[in-house]
Chain A
Amino acid sequence: MLELLWLIPAFPLLGFLVLMLAGSRLSRTEVAWVGAGSVGLSAVVTLVVGLTFMAAPPAGARFTQTLWVWLDVAGFRPAFAFYLDALSLTMIFVVTFVGFLIHLYSVEYMMEEEEGYSRFFAYMNLFVCAMLTLLLADNLMLLLLGWEGVGLCSYLLIGFFYKEEANGQAASKAFIVTRVGDTAMLMALFLLFAELGTLDIQELLQRAGQQFQPGSGLATAVALLLLGGAVGKSAQLPLQTWLPDAMAGPTPVSALIHAATMVTAGVYLIARTHVLFTLAPAVLTLVAVIGTLTLLMAGFAALVQYDIKRVLAYSTISQIGYMFLALGVGAWSAALFHFMIHAFFKALLFLGAGAVIMCLHHEQDMYRMGGLRRLMPFTFWCFLIGSGALAAIPVVTAGFYSKDLIIWNAYNSEIGGVWLWAGAFAGAFLTSIYTFRMVFLTFYRDATEWVKKLMPIQQPGPCVHIPLGVLAVLSVAAGVIELPHTMGKLTLFSGFLNTALPAYHGVHASFGTELLFELLAAAASLGGIYLVWVLVMGPPGLMQRIAALPWASDLERLWLSGWGFDRLYDTLFVQPYLWCARVNKDDFIDGGYRAVAFVTEMLHFVATLTQTGAVRWYATGIAVGAVLTVGLVILL
């Protein structure tokens, strides 16, 4: 059944083609069936292929399927070929299943759209196809096709409501900023081909292992350039600025692309080319440092946002920071585990937020919400579960298991240490603060005037509730496939992934230390929730007193703007470039040509002055000329 692999990206592609070519002639129901159905079929095939793969693993636990040779020039021979192993299987499973749930949700969420309904599903299907291509690609050129393809769809979907100028700008920003990273990645590809003579990933990793010296300049350069691509796509420092603005897109888009799947492509890239990173320990350390800094930076920024989607956006940046941290300390499967769990709960949170936004007539400001706990009970419970997983509430949520694993590994790994652990620990504390600030502001308190005006609130239908329910169950239950030593040590997930990725080797601190660190992490999570409960729900006036502190408003402004990176880049890059373009609109080089034309015309004008038609002037001219000529002849 593994031969069905090509169908997984083919179904969404077919859906895209049908919707694009015939979308305007299809009814709304037909569009929904094609749009969601294609991804559903893809998910079913993934299940079949995945079960086959696990039941009877092919030789070497890998399977390659070549469709056609893309091109063949000078020994460069990339193909449209798919590569399935535990890593890509895990990823495509998440993409197709979460993707299907989000498509199902969109069937109802996007109902208000007239012309855009089929356009929306067309873009979404194209996205799923591109994402699957990215994940299944067996060579880096095909991976780049998927990589840029998801970037395109991200651009199209962020700017989906194209009539608003701001949305278009957010979309362009996302595309351009990620393209900066992509260019670095392109350089990595050229360097790899120049040195190793292939872009086939497995072949390349093997040759790199033989030819690159660990820690050599070459290996470091390659890893650094690949990292450039990864930080762009995954919105990590210093290219994180596009993601908060990307929330301009419809909420299902934020759930699918900007939380669950596309933004984790950088994590996938690093895991996929892990050999190259292992050969460059300095870069691997850099990955961990970038991850830690990003998770803290975004955590602080999330504390003060008032737009519910922007909180979630910063939270996504922060959680991907955790994944980078895990990659950096060599805990490959922990990064992937958090990727999967994060895909579940973050999609759940976005979809929950979307349900709230939809029922409040596109209101996204949390301060104008409140009291929704009683008004939208099902959404509330699902959102609470997702928030619990994000804040890593101990034992009962999946997020605890995945995040705790990373925090522990940050300390326990050979590369890790106290500083990385401290960053991750502080990040966990921040996470639970901003998460439950969001929960309390939105669902607790008394209903605001705005909410009361909208009463009675119309409840979402089954297409919205089913995905929420399924994802809520997964956000709780999925954690049990990977349990720490202290809780029975179950390694289903990492055991499976270790057929594709190197196993993690910790320093193996004692049982007691691990338990202590777990208790600390649990305390951070619960302490944060308690703190924010006191701040938001506690005696009125407490927040005002904090806000009145002299540095508070400056700090709030700084965090609200995401540490001012936008302004920095605007001053450093955007404005100078636009200035050059504007000033040189008429091309100064053309000025040279125009000057030649001008001088010629002037000479012509001067020469015509002599053509007066007056015989006296001509006679004088002849006389003077004659005298001069004779004079010259005599003198010389």
Chain B
Amino acid sequence: MSLAWILLLPLTGGLAAWIAGRWSDLWPRWISLGTALLHLLLLVVTWGVFFAGIETAQGAWLMVYKQPWIPQLGISFHLAVDGLSLLLLLLASFLTVLAVLTSWRSVTRSVGFFHFNLLLILTALSGVFIAFDLFLFFAFWEISLLPLYFLIGIWGYENRVYATTKFFIITQGSGLLMLLAILGLVVVHWQATGVMTFDYLELLGTPMSESTAFWLMLGFFIAFAVKLPVVPLHTWLPDAHTQAPTAGSVALAGLVLKIGAYGMLRFVVPIFPQAAADFTLIAMILAVVGILYGALLALGQTDLKRMVAYTSISHMGFVLLGIFAWNELALQGAVIIMLSHGFSAAALFMMVGDLQHRTHTRDLGSFGGLWAMMPRMGGMGLFFAMASLGLPGLASFIGEFLVLMGAFQVNVPLTVLASVGLVAATVYSLWMMQKVYYGARTGDWKLDDTSGRETAIMASLIGATLGLGLYPQPVLTTSGNALAQMREFVDKARTPTARSAAAEARKEDAVASTTPDGGKRP
């Protein structure tokens, strides 16, 4: 099966929505909804086909598509889907459907262009998840920035220009670092083997000296760390999330953060197995700092949306912890958190959006006692507050449990500290419930409870969270092969023989640097 539809479908739909927006506000909505639903449906069918064993995968690869693009530089149009990519594609598609639905009434300006941007995000992120050529990957990575820049800048809230500029500069800067790291990697590979290529699979296992590997890995790590985000590179996030329109926040929290995690998982550790192993302690410390610091910041906020934004930092810390712990339990846990956080962050941001649409405020001090007027929305808020604090039976618990269990086998003190984050998460989640839904009524609003559309959105997210929490096995099986293949490769590179080969390379380097020409190579 050709893979191009994964990209072409949303792109075409987006263009169509943009054009249709010239005549009507309703058309773009329906076109986008239809496109996203079709995209989702096709992906679910694909998943079903492989899961039911109708079509068998070659190794971990479910589908591959490769065409030369710029052969002179070894750049190709290499797309591939494995279990990990498929899960993230499903998430992206699912959340796009919800993003379209949640904007149904709240977005009224330039509706066509808005939906074009939404679908362009889906296109770009799908590209990121399936590109196996680093040049192509970088291209999609950068493309994903533009629609977000527009979404925040045009449809955002009061402080949108500041937020979107900050977001753009910081992520663009980190993108530059990644580009340099990619070029460096390609050059190193070229020097070592004489082959110029940007292909992921060929670049895997590139021999390089320890210091080269460290610096290149750091370039990738920082680029992904900005997106994830890792403290102290996180400060773009609260502003961007808070100022973005609801659909933008859903895309940011639900998807954009995941490409950071995906990059760590797919590129940082497999391409630089040894450097990443040496970096494990620092990365895990950063993860724990993120978990605790994000939770602390969340508690300090007076803006509900900003608060939810900070909780993302805390949750993504668990993902980083799991990725660098690098064992089966922790990696599976990290993948589950990527999905579960996608659901719960999206739900919470949509809840804030629904509240703001009704009350025109996000100030925690103005809410209070809303349960009396809107028990349905309160119940949903409660559900996702529980998801946020990792209640067993819900998806995030599975993820956090597996990550912590895996990390425990790598580093006990850091795991203990990370678990303190669960208590901190309890504190901010309950505080949010108390401030918004419980207590005495402060505002004199007359608010309607959730509409049918809002209820349907939330119900789908609740279903996904419960399903993943009570029976995660299909998801675990899907990502299992992909993760196993990565682990196998990395573990092999980390064996003593591989280490001594690396030491050889290091020695050569040392010899080279003592030669008169300063170690310059052709």
- The reply to whether the CB of B111 lies closer than 8 angstroms to some CB of chain A is no
- The reply to whether the CB of A587 lies closer than 8 angstroms to some CB of chain B is yes
Task: Specify which of A175, A176, A581, A590 lies most central, judged by the most chain B CB atoms within 10 Å of its CB.
Answer: A581
CB closest chain-A residue, reference B480: A73
Binds A, one of B100-108, B114-122, B273-281, B426-434: B426-434
- The reply to whether the CB of A115 lies closer than 8 angstroms to some CB of chain B is yes
In the complex, are the beta carbons of A191 and B391 less than 8 A apart? Answer: no
In the complex, are the beta carbons of B439 and A163 less than 8 A apart? Answer: yes
In the complex, are the beta carbons of A581 and B299 less than 8 A apart? Answer: yes
- The reply to whether the CB of A72 lies closer than 8 angstroms to some CB of chain B is yes
In the complex, are the beta carbons of B405 and A193 less than 8 A apart? Answer: yes
- The reply to whether the CB of B207 lies closer than 8 angstroms to some CB of chain A is no
- Cross-interface CB contact of B297 among A144, A156, A584, cutoff 8 Å: A584
User: In the complex, which residues of chain A have a beta carbon less than 8 angstroms from the beta carbon of B379?
Assistant: 20
User: In the complex, which residues of chain A have a beta carbon less than 8 angstroms from the beta carbon of B170?
Assistant: 593
**Cα(A399)–Cα(B61), bound, Å:** 67
In the complex, are the beta carbons of B398 and A71 less than 8 A apart? Answer: yes
In the complex, are the beta carbons of B476 and A589 less than 8 A apart? Answer: no
- The reply to whether the CB of A194 lies closer than 8 angstroms to some CB of chain B is yes
- Cross-interface CB contact of B401 among A24, A74, A141, A167, cutoff 8 Å: A141
Q: Which of A564-593 contact B (CB under 8 A)?
A: 577-578, 580-585, 587, 589-590, 592-593
Q: Which of B453-509 contact A (CB under 8 A)?
A: 470-473, 476, 480
Q: How far is the CB of B424 from chain A (nearest CB, A)?
A: 8
Q: Taking A176-B423, A186-B404 as contacts, is the C-beta distance between A585 and B332 under 8 angstroms?
A: no
- The reply to whether the CB of B149 lies closer than 8 angstroms to some CB of chain A is no
- The reply to whether the CB of A148 lies closer than 8 angstroms to some CB of chain B is yes
In the complex, are the beta carbons of B329 and A74 less than 8 A apart? Answer: yes
In the complex, are the beta carbons of A179 and B300 less than 8 A apart? Answer: no
In the complex, are the beta carbons of B408 and A585 less than 8 A apart? Answer: no
In the complex, are the beta carbons of A162 and B430 less than 8 A apart? Answer: no
Q: How far is the CB of B511 from chain A (nearest CB, A)?
A: 39
- The reply to whether the CB of A168 lies closer than 8 angstroms to some CB of chain B is yes
Q: How far is the CB of A72 from chain B (nearest CB, A)?
A: 6
Interface of B is mostly: helix
Q: Which of A136-167 contact B (CB under 8 A)?
A: 141, 144-145, 147-149, 152, 155-156, 159, 162-165, 167
In the complex, are the beta carbons of A183 and B438 less than 8 A apart? Answer: no
Q: How far is the CB of B120 from chain A (nearest CB, A)?
A: 28
**Cα(A196)–Cα(B299), bound, Å:** 38
User: In the complex, which residues of chain A have a beta carbon less than 8 angstroms from the beta carbon of B433?
Assistant: 168
Total contacts A-B at CB 8 Å: 139
Q: Taking A172-B434, A587-B235 as contacts, is the C-beta distance between A149 and B392 under 8 angstroms?
A: yes
**Cα(A175)–Cα(B422), bound, Å:** 12
User: In the complex, which residues of chain B have a beta carbon less than 8 angstroms from the beta carbon of A577?
Assistant: 296, 299, 427
- Cross-interface CB contact of B473 among A69, A589, A593, cutoff 8 Å: A69
- The reply to whether the CB of A598 lies closer than 8 angstroms to some CB of chain B is no
- The reply to whether the CB of B212 lies closer than 8 angstroms to some CB of chain A is no
Instruction: Tell me how many residues of A have a C-beta within 8 Å of chain B.
Output: 57
Interface of A is mostly: helix
Q: How far is the CB of A186 from chain B (nearest CB, A)?
A: 6
**Cα(A20)–Cα(B409), bound, Å:** 41
- The reply to whether the CB of A273 lies closer than 8 angstroms to some CB of chain B is no
In the complex, are the beta carbons of B476 and A172 less than 8 A apart? Answer: no
CB closest chain-A residue, reference B233: A589
User: In the complex, which residues of chain B have a beta carbon less than 8 angstroms from the beta carbon of A590?
Assistant: 235
- The reply to whether the CB of A530 lies closer than 8 angstroms to some CB of chain B is no
- The reply to whether the CB of B375 lies closer than 8 angstroms to some CB of chain A is yes
Q: How far is the CB of A573 from chain B (nearest CB, A)?
A: 10
- Cross-interface CB contact of A581 among B231, B234, B296, B426, cutoff 8 Å: B296
User: In the complex, which residues of chain A have a beta carbon less than 8 angstroms from the beta carbon of B232?
Assistant: 589, 592
- The reply to whether the CB of B221 lies closer than 8 angstroms to some CB of chain A is no
Q: Which of A536-578 contact B (CB under 8 A)?
A: 577-578
- The reply to whether the CB of A459 lies closer than 8 angstroms to some CB of chain B is no
User: In the complex, which residues of chain B have a beta carbon less than 8 angstroms from the beta carbon of A175?
Assistant: 426, 430
In the complex, are the beta carbons of B404 and A71 less than 8 A apart? Answer: no
CB closest chain-B residue, reference A596: B169
In the complex, are the beta carbons of A162 and B329 less than 8 A apart? Answer: no
- Cross-interface CB contact of A187 among B235, B416, B480, cutoff 8 Å: B416
- The reply to whether the CB of A190 lies closer than 8 angstroms to some CB of chain B is yes
User: In the complex, which residues of chain B have a beta carbon less than 8 angstroms from the beta carbon of A190?
Assistant: 404-405, 408, 415
Q: How far is the CB of B195 from chain A (nearest CB, A)?
A: 36
Q: Which of B200-238 contact A (CB under 8 A)?
A: 231-232, 234-235, 238
In the complex, are the beta carbons of B300 and A584 less than 8 A apart? Answer: yes
User: In the complex, which residues of chain B have a beta carbon less than 8 angstroms from the beta carbon of A193?
Assistant: 405, 408
**Cα(A163)–Cα(B442), bound, Å:** 11
Q: Taking A163-B372, A186-B404, A582-B300 as contacts, is the C-beta distance between A169 and B434 under 8 angstroms?
A: yes
In the complex, are the beta carbons of A593 and B420 less than 8 A apart? Answer: no
Q: How far is the CB of B309 from chain A (nearest CB, A)?
A: 11
- The reply to whether the CB of B25 lies closer than 8 angstroms to some CB of chain A is no
In the complex, are the beta carbons of B434 and A74 less than 8 A apart? Answer: no
Q: Which of B382-397 contact A (CB under 8 A)?
A: 382, 386, 389, 391-393
13 A-B pairs with C-beta separation under 8 A: A70-B473, A148-B391, A149-B391, A162-B438, A168-B433, A168-B439, A186-B404, A187-B415, A190-B408, A577-B427, A578-B299, A584-B296, A584-B297
> B residues engaging A (CB < 8 A)?
166, 170, 231-232, 234-235, 238, 296-297, 299-302, 327-329, 332, 369, 371-372, 375, 379, 382, 386, 389, 391-393, 398, 401-402, 404-405, 408-409, 415-416, 419-420, 422-423, 426-427, 430-431, 433-434, 437-441, 470-473, 476, 480
| Known contacts A70-B472, A175-B426, A187-B416; 6 further A-B pairs (Cβ under 8 A) | A69-B473, A168-B438, A171-B430, A190-B404, A190-B408, A585-B297
> A residues engaging B (CB < 8 A)?
20, 24, 68-74, 76, 80, 115, 119, 141, 144-145, 147-149, 152, 155-156, 159, 162-165, 167-169, 171-172, 175-176, 179-180, 183, 186-187, 189-191, 193-194, 577-578, 580-585, 587, 589-590, 592-593
4 A-B pairs closest in CB distance: A581-B300, A74-B328, A145-B392, A190-B408
